[in-house]
Chain A
Amino acid sequence: MDQLQLLLEGFAGALTPMNLLWVLLGCLIGTAVGVLPGLGSSMAVALLLPMTFALDPTAAFILFAGVYFGGLFGDSTMGILMNTPGQASAIASTFEGHAMAKAGRAPQALAIAAIGAFLGGIVSAVAVTFAAPALAEFAANFGPAEFFALALLAFGAISSVVADSVVKGLTSLVLGLVLATVGVDPISGAERFTFGSMYLFDGVSLVVVVVGMLALGEVLKVATRIHRDPKPEQLGAPGSRKFLSKREFKDAAPAWARGAGIGLPFGVIPVGGAEVPTFLSYDVERRLDRRRRDPQFGKGAPRGLAGPEAAGNATTGMAMGALLALGLPVSATAAIMLAAFRQYGIQPGPLLFDTSADLVWPLLASFFIAMVVLLLINLPFAQLWAKLLLIPPPYLYAGIVVFCGLGIYATSPSMFDLLFFLGIGCLAFLMRRYAVPVAPLLIGMVLGPLAETSMRDALLGSNGDYSVFVAGPIPIVLYVLLLVVVAFKVRQVVVTRSRRDV
Chain B
Amino acid sequence: MSTAPNAERGDAPRQLRGRGGLLVPLVVAIVCTLVVIGMVGMEVPPETTFPGPRFFPTILVVAGYALSILLVVHYLRHPDEEATETQYRTYSDWPAFAWVAGSFLAFAVLLDVLGWILAAGLLFWGVARGVGSKRPLFDVSVALLLSSLIYLVFAAGLGVTLPSGLLGGM
Chain A residues with CB under 8 Å of chain B are 51, 54, 165, 167-168, 170-171, 174-175, 177-178, 181, 185, 187-193, 195, 216, 219-220, 222-228, 392-395, 397-399, 401-403, 405-406, 409-410, 413, 415, 418-419, 421-422, 425-427, 429-431, 433-434, 436, 452, 455-456, 459-460, 464
Contacts and interface: CB of A to CB of B under 8 A. Distances in A.
A410 B74 contact: no
B60 A167 contact: no
B101 A227 contact: no
A183 B49 CA distance: 19
B96 A415 contact: no
Nearest to B158: A54
Contacts of A452: 56
A223 B108 contact: no
Contacts of B139: 394
Contacts of A175: 28, 31, 64
A178 B38 CA distance: 12
Contact of A393 (B94, B131, B150): B131
B96 A185 contact: no
Nearest to B103: A401
Given A171-B71, A178-B60, A228 B44 contact: no
A178 B123 contact: no
B34 interface: yes
Contact of B93 (A168, A228, A464): A228
A421 B96 CA distance: 19
Interface in B85-135: 87-88, 92-94, 96-97, 99-101, 103-105, 107-109, 111-112, 120, 123-125, 127-133
A222 to B, nearest CB: 7
A413 B38 CA distance: 26
A224 B104 CA distance: 15
B49 A392 contact: no
B165 interface: no
A225 B161 contact: no
B124 A399 contact: yes
Contacts of B143: 398
B111 A227 contact: no
Given A192-B38, A422-B105, A399 B53 contact: no
Contacts of A464: 50-51
Given A181-B60, A392-B133, A188 B112 contact: no
B146 interface: yes
A293 B44 CA distance: 72
A225 B93 contact: yes
Interface string B123-161: 111011111110000010011001100100010001111
A168 B128 contact: no
Most-contacted residue by chain A among B38, B49, B131 (CB, 10 A): B131
A459 B93 contact: no
- DSSP class of B's interface residues: helix, strand, loop or mixed? helix
Interface in B7-34: 20-21, 23-24, 27-28, 31-32, 34
Nearest to A451: B56
Given A165-B74, A181-B57, 19 more contacts: A54-B160, A174-B60, A178-B57, A181-B60, A187-B53, A190-B42, A193-B57, A223-B100, A223-B131, A224-B97, A226-B96, A227-B96, A395-B128, A409-B162, A415-B108, A418-B104, A459-B50, A464-B50, A464-B51
A174 B127 contact: no
A148 to B, nearest CB: 11
A410 B150 CA distance: 12
Given A225-B93, A395-B142, A455 B56 contact: yes
B35 to A, nearest CB: 6
Contact of B132 (A165, A220, A227): A227
B45 interface: yes
Contacts of B109: 415
A54 B142 CA distance: 27
Nearest to B47: A188
Most-contacted residue by chain A among B42, B80, B112 (CB, 10 A): B42
Contact of A418 (B63, B108, B128): B108
B123 A402 contact: yes
A416 B163 CA distance: 16
Contact of B27 (A170, A192, A430): A430
A397 B63 contact: no
B101 A425 contact: yes
Contact of B24 (A187, A426, A431): A431
A73 B32 CA distance: 41
Contacts of A181: 35, 56-57, 60
Nearest to B151: A406
A402 B150 contact: yes
A460 B127 contact: no
Contact of A426 (B92, B101, B124, B125): B101
Given A190-B44, A427-B27, A460 B51 contact: yes
A434 B23 contact: yes
A456 B57 CA distance: 12
Given A434-B24, A434-B80, A436-B24, A402 B42 contact: no
Nearest to B50: A464
A190 B43 CA distance: 6
B52 interface: yes
Most-contacted residue by chain A among B27, B49, B53, B142 (CB, 10 A): B53
A451 to B, nearest CB: 8
Contacts of B96: 223-224, 226-227
B73 to A, nearest CB: 9
Contact of B161 (A177, A413, A455, A459): A413
